[in-house]
Each structure stands twice: as structure tokens, then as C-alpha cells.
């Protein structure tokens, strides 16, 4: 157990629907990062939050949104889902000034859109 | 945008053999990370390289960083089946950890 908790582990939903993925970072970590992993795109950075504030944004679609709450857990909301959104979604966390450690990844949420 | 290229993307090797995975990146950076991912699993941190010339070793794996050449290598010595996995390099930049830029990964298969 890495200490980063992601729920649910698996999600199957229909096109057009909306889902919420949840991430609890490791204790003491203030940064949360969301990545999407698919076979054709590899690991794509979506967004970073630091202590409740958005810090960096990657190739995140307008249909996707995220937030980090005061207790530091984060949620990634995916709406108007398309077949192409099927992927493994990872959350990672890091300590402040964590250059010497890198990320700690959660176990991921596998999203299947049918 | 920072580009990270790994090669090879697929590597099939026999147990006992040696091989090197290469990670090139496009913009100056002095921080490089290697991760391992088993099929359907999470990414596990292997090495953190923070300066030019850094070398880290763990078991049959050794990673090095040449910031001048913008190149990191992951050398596998006397491969064993348990090393079969996908290996990713990731590059950071700036004064904070922030976003990491990942390569496409090298899928390693070690066969008897």
C-alpha cells in the first residue's frame, strides 16, 4: 500500500454519463496530480493541485474538472463521457519540495465507457 | 513543451543477458525519475537522479544521468524473469517538483 488511496478501482459507465474519481493523498503530502494512461497516448498529465489551489494544468479536456478539498483529498469529475475516455486514471501525491522523492502513485481507477 | 523519448519501446531479452534502456529529453533538467509498472498495476518509484553524473543501483538495475547530453540510462544486468515490467522515465524542471513529463515507457519481457 503506497498510502495514496483511489476509489473506485473499476468503473463501467455509458457514453454521455458523468463520473467522479476520488483520491486521498499520502499523509503529509500537499500536492495531488492526476494522470490519464491509455495505450495510444501513454501517461498524460491532467492537472495538479497544491494545498487546495490549482497549480498546473495539462491537456485536460473542458469536460473534465477537478478540485482539492480542505482535507486535501481530490476529486476528478469527468462528464459527457465518450468511448475515448476509457483509460486508467492515476492520482499521485508528493511532499512539499519533493524533488528528492518524486511522486507516490495510487493504484488507479480503470474507467470503461461503453 | 518538454519531450521525453525512451527507446526501445519494446524489449524482449533472455535471462542472464544485459541491456540498456535510454531516456532522452529535450530541455535542460537536472532531475530525472525512473518508475516501474507491472501490468494493470500502479507505478512504483525505482530511482531518483538529481544531478549530473548521478548513478544509483538497486539489485540488477543501475540508473545514470548525464544532464549535458540530456540522457539517462537504465542498465539491466543478468536479467531475470521478475524484471519483466514496463519502465518509465520522467523528467521534472523548475525549482519545485511539479509536473513530471513521462516517456512512453519500455515494455520489458525477460524469457528463460
Average pLDDT of the residues in B68-75:
96
Write out pLDDT tens, residues B79-112: 999 999 999 999 988 777 789 999 999 999 999 8
Write out pLDDT tens, residues A61-99: 999 999 999 999 999 999 999 999 999 999 999 987 777
Cβ-nearest to A97 among B96, B101, B103: B96
DSSP-derived letter for residue A39 is: T
| HSE value, Cβ hemisphere, 13 Å, CA-based, for B23 | 29
Do A8 and A2 meet the contact criterion of CB atoms below 8 Å apart?
Answer: no
Strand partners, A38: A42
Average pLDDT score over chain A:
94
Do the Cβ atoms of B88 and A90 come within 8 Å? no
Do the Cβ atoms of B45 and A102 come within 8 Å? yes
- Chain B: residue whose CA lies nearest to A87: B40
Cβ-nearest to B42 among A56, A101, A106: A106
Do A51 and A69 meet the contact criterion of CB atoms below 8 Å apart?
Answer: no
Residues of A in contact with B42 (CB under 8 A): 2, 90, 105-108
Do A72 and A19 meet the contact criterion of CB atoms below 8 Å apart?
Answer: no
Residues of A in contact with B96 (CB under 8 A): 97, 99
Coil/strand/helix, residue A73? coil
Do the Cβ atoms of A101 and B92 come within 8 Å? no
Amino acid at each position: 500500500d503506497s498510502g495514496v488511496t483511489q476509489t473506485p478501482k473499476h468503473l463501467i459507465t455509458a457514453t454521455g454519463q458523468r463520473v467522479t474519481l476520488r483520491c486521498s493523498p499520502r499523509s503529509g503530502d500537499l500536492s495531488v496530480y492526476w494522470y490519464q494512461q491509455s495505450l495510444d497516448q501513454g501517461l498524460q498529465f491532467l492537472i495538479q493541485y497544491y494545498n487546495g489551489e490549482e497549480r498546473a494544468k495539462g491537456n485536460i479536456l473542458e469536460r473534465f474538472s477537478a478540485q482539492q478539498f480542505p482535507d486535501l483529498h481530490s476529486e476528478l469529475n469527468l462528464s459527457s463521457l465518450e468511448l475515448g475516455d476509457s483509460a486508467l486514471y492515476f492520482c499521485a501525491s508528493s511532499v512539499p519540495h519533493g524533488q528528492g522523492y518524486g511522486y507516490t502513485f495510487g493504484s488507479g481507477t480503470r474507467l470503461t465507457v461503453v | 513543451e518538454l519531450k521525453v523519448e525512451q527507446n526501445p519501446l519494446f524489449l524482449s531479452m533472455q535471462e542472464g543477458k544485459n541491456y540498456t534502456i535510454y531516456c532522452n529529453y529535450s530541455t535542460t533538467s537536472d532531475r530525472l525519475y525512473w518508475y516501474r509498472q507491472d501490468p494493470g498495476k500502479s507505478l512504483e518509484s525505482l530511482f531518483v537522479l538529481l544531478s549530473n553524473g548521478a548513478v544509483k543501483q538497486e539489485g540488477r538495475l543501475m540508473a545514470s544521468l548525464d544532464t549535458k547530453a540530456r540522457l539517462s540510462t537504465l542498465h539491466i544486468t543478468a536479467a531475470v524473469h521478475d524484471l519483466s515490467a514496463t519502465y518509465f522515465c520522467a523528467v521534472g524542471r523548475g525549482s519545485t517538483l511539479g509536473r513530471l513529463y513521462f516517456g512512453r515507457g519500455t515494455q520489458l519481457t525477460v524469457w528463460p
